[in-house]
Structure 1
C-alpha cells in the first residue's frame, strides 16, 4: 500500500539538502526502488521539509538505511519522519 512520508528537519538548510541530493545521485541505487514522487523546501520555521510518496513503508525504510550515512555526512542529525497510508496517489 502506498504511503505519504513527511520528514521535518529542524534547522536543516538548503545547502545540506542539495549536498544530500548530489551524493544520493552519485550512487547507483538512487532514485530508490519504490519512490514514486519527491518534493522538498523550507518549512517556514527555520528548517527543511521533505514530502515523498512511496510504494510501501518497507521500501521507504530500506531507503532510510541506505541513505543514513549520506544524510549524516551532510550534517543532518535530526529527522522527524511521519508515515501515513495514502488512499490515492496520482502522478502526472
Structure 2
C-alpha cells in the first residue's frame, strides 16, 4: 500500500540536475556583486529556478498553482525593484 502511493507520487527528477547548480552559481555571483543591478541579475535566475521547482510535480494541480502564484507574486516586486533602480540612477 505504501509502495503504491509512492509510485503515484513519483516525479521525474532529471530537471533537478540543472535546477540545483544554477541557483548555486547565482548565489556565488551575488556574493561578488558590486552594484545593485548585478545583485538583481544574480537574484533573478535563482528565483526563477525556485518557481520551476515549486511547479515540478506535473500531475498535481496544487503544484501548478503554487508555481504560478510564486511567478506572479515574484514579478511584482521585481518590477517595482527595477523601477526604483531606474528612478534612482537617471539624471534629469
- TM-score of the two chains, using structure 2 as the length reference: 0.29
Q: Indicate the structure (1 or 2) with the bigger Cα radius of gyration.
A: 2
Give the structure with the higher percent strand: 1
- TM-score of the two chains, using structure 1 as the length reference: 0.29
